Amino acid sequence: MISLRGVSLVYPNGVRALDNITLEIAKGDFVFLVGDSGTGKSSLLRLLYREAASTTGEIIVDGIRVDRLRRSRVPALRRHLGVVFQDFKLLVDKTVWENVAFAMQVTGAHTRDVMRQVPRVLDLVGLSHKSRMYPGELSGGEQQRAAIARALVNNPKILLCDEPTGNLDPANTTEITALLLRINLKGTTVVVATHNQAVVDRMRRRVVRLEDGRIAADEERGYYYLGLRESQVLSG
Amino acid sequence: MDSGKVKFFLAEVLRNFSRNTGMQVTAIGTVAITIVLLGLFLFVRAAIADAGRQLLDEISVSAYLRTDVTPLQVRAIAHFLAQDPRVASVQYVPKKQGLAELRERTKGTIDVALLTENPLPDKFRIKARVADDVPAIAASVRRLSGVDNVVYGQKIVQRLLQLGAVLRRISIAVIVVFVAVAGIIIANTIRLTVFARRREIAIMQLVGATNTYIRLPFICEGLLDGLIGALVATVLLAIARAALWPRLLEALPWAQLTVVPVDGRLLTLELFAVGAAIGVLASWVSVGRHLRT
């Protein structure tokens, strides 16, 4: 489903964000990307939804050669992906329903499909009863659930999450994590970049640890401090 | 067509348009001012052009005949002129009639009766269809036998033709400058709205909206700015014309004679077209720049 071969990313200012990354993520996988801030987790996700363009290497997402994608084809790629962020990125002057429907409407979806699909995803994230509320009237966890509903509304095969629980308290974190797992069980490939140790250790899913833009460890049923020596853990 | 889609789109455009009222008013005001200036300019230009055309229309070529001209030569000249497609009308003025006209024209200043004999030669009075052809017609007539001298106010015709050419060039330059200024201001206004909506645009891009789709509401916004600006300008111009025109005629009586009413409908259409074009172009450029970064 996602395949990176020898991918490097050097930003125009000379910073080497990713260095020779090779990574395979199968259909239906649930993968944690862990590592300290600035180790390239977000950069890796940004490559996948083509917010950044790789300097070298080959990237395939759902059969699309992302590294060779023309600018005009980027919207088509993004319709295969759902993306969730730490800061939710909801439109404050639109209701929950409108925020979710917006993501379909701007892709030119038929109103009939919007009316059918929006209630479905709102139900999935458990926000049906708050669909008429504005983001400012919701808790952080609810806002993130609305953002996840928006990411899912176009039926993506892949859900990318960049620190989805970064702004949430432990209770909401648990709730969001459970929701992501439920989405994964429905067959969506989920990639979560996080530095929340508790979440990673509780789930025991595949963990890919990035360090200085390289893959330092990659293990099925991993844990947060995977691949680190005890001294590194204590000093970190 | 999916009516829900259309409704969504129109609601988005209206929402954006009404959200930044201050900015829209600025943009519309600028377009209106520009178009008022442009309208005044076009109006004056058309008036001057019409006045010039009228002056040129007044100009006729006088071909004075030799005193020893034969009736055959006169007929040949008349035939030659009637054949010329550039000639609008030809009138033969015998010297008796010429004297009568002179007497009429100089009434009260010179007493023509003092003349003991008629000093005027016979002549042809020729009018051209197009003022630009006057010099050429004069030249061709001068070559005919029996023609003594040809007079057509060379200097005036040449001046007017030159003035017309210069005026055309200046007017194009002025219009370009006006339109550029209005375009830059609309582009800046749209850029501000784009900036105010950058989160929305980022999300649209994130969920896979095409650039065309993202651009469309802004283009409509620019179009609306341009059209409303043109409407305001047209109303202002109409009011100004209704209020000032009679007074202008009063102050400058000769204007009544020389200035022909300009076709207001055509002018209005031109102004609206200019407003729409400015709005669309400016917003296109402005949003495009944002989408590429």
pLDDT in tens, B226-243: 899 899 988 988 888 788
Q: Does B38 lie at the interface with A, CB-CB under 8 angstroms?
A: no
Q: What would the mean pLDDT of B161-166 be, rounded to a whole number?
A: 76
Q: Which residue of A has its CA nearest to B8?
A: A105
Q: What proportion of chain B, given as a percentage, has pLDDT over 70?
A: 86
End-to-end CA distance of chain A: 33
- Only one residue has tokens 């708050």, namely A130
Which among B3, B199, B207 has CB closest to A106?
A: B207
The whole-angstrom distance between A66's CA and the closest CA on chain B is: 14
Q: Which residues contact A104 (CB under 8 A, 6 or more apart)?
A: A113, A114, A117, A118, A153, A154
Q: How many CA atoms lie within 13 A of A131 on its CB side?
A: 18
Provide the pLDDT confidence category of residue B66 given band limits of 50, 70 and 90: confident
pLDDT at A150: 95
pLDDT at B140 over 70: yes
pLDDT at B285: 85
Q: What would the mean pLDDT of A185-194 be, rounded to a whole number?
A: 94
10 Å Cβ neighbour count for A231? 8
User: How far is residue A220 from each of residues A55, A150, A205, A232, B227, measured CA to CA in Å?
Assistant: 29, 29, 6, 22, 62
Nearest to A163 by CA among A154, A176, A151, A150: A176
Which among A103, A110, A150 has CB closest to B2?
A: A110
Report residue B275 as tokens: 């407003």
pLDDT at B261 over 60: no
Do the Cβ atoms of B207 and A79 come within 8 Å? yes
Q: What proportion of chain A, given as a percentage, has pLDDT over 90?
A: 69
Cα–Cα distance for residue pair A160/A222, rounded to 1 Å = 19
pLDDT at B259 over 60: no
Number of DSSP helices (H) and strands (E) in chain B, helices first: 10, 4
Contacts of A102 in chain B (CB under 8 A): 203, 207
pTM metric for this prediction = 0.69
**What stretch of H or E contains B59?**
none
